[in-house]
Structure 1
């Protein structure tokens, strides 16, 4: 038997007490929220909080699930050789707990930005789409499937 292979990932939209949102500048996607792949043996929230800390120096707490996404496109990794499996991503709104902003080996810059300016920084279409869903969150969790190549396209979207 061959088991299906999916990447499970999580994104953390961390807000401080003033309502600013944390973003990181990544080497591959540009500005984005912190997050990444969940490792073997981690639950989704543990993996998310680890990724936020590793990429930004911030300790956060998970407040609410806001979106579930499937990137079902078939494409190659940045190396141009390795096929990327389907990605299932969980986006969470998080609260800042403590920590000083610091870049990492995955990020070149880390900043707090106001909600009304953050979309000006986000250039990757999927990241922009997901952040819009966070900024418009009304308590309903959105599920979407999309592809990112050859161009970003939402295939399916509904509230769950």
Structure 2
């Protein structure tokens, strides 16, 4: 039996007090939720907090685990969280050409990758937590 290597990531839906969602614009994938790869000796929750800070400049508090999505053909498992902003100012960079808070309906139109929209909607549907979805 062949053991395959999988990559683990953590991302989050960050909602501010006006119930607007934090998005970043990746130079290749377009608008998306912030998140990234888990580093050695780092918890999944710590990864989400670190990645959001690195990609957006915003310090967040993670409030809830939402679920997992698996990208089967890419060997990637994504963990999803809900959170809220605590402090910080937008900071763009190589991974984030633009950053902003957007109304949920607007965000759904901005996110062009179908799987990203599905993950976002699953995170918002708290009665379905924890969720598991897979993409081929």
Say which of 97, 106, 118 aligns to 1:117: 106
Q: What TM-score, normalized by structure 2, do the two folds share?
A: 0.93
Residue of structure 1 equivalent to 2:33: 33
Displacement of 1:3: 5.5
Residue of structure 1 equivalent to 2:9: 9
Say which of 90, 94, 97 aligns to 2:86: 97
Once residues 60 and 20 of structure 2 are traced to their aligned partners in structure 1, the CA distance between those partners, rounded to angstroms, is 14
| Count of paired positions | 136
Once residues 145 and 134 of structure 1 are traced to their aligned partners in structure 2, the CA distance between those partners, rounded to angstroms, is 14
1:98/1:139 CA distance change after superposition, 3 Å:
farther
Q: What are the within-5 Å matches in structure 2 for residues 1-150 of structure 1?
A: 4-73=4-73, 84=74, 86-138=75-127, 140-147=129-136
Gaps of 5+ in 2: none
Gaps of 5+ in 1: 74-83, 148-160
The higher radius of gyration belongs to 1
Once residues 85 and 127 of structure 2 are traced to their aligned partners in structure 1, the CA distance between those partners, rounded to angstroms, is 20
Once residues 139 and 145 of structure 1 are traced to their aligned partners in structure 2, the CA distance between those partners, rounded to angstroms, is 15
Q: Secondary structure at the match of 1:117?
A: helix
Displacement of 1:118: 1.1
Instruction: Give the conservation status (yes or no) of the 8 Å contact 2:11–2:36.
Output: yes
Greater helix proportion:
2
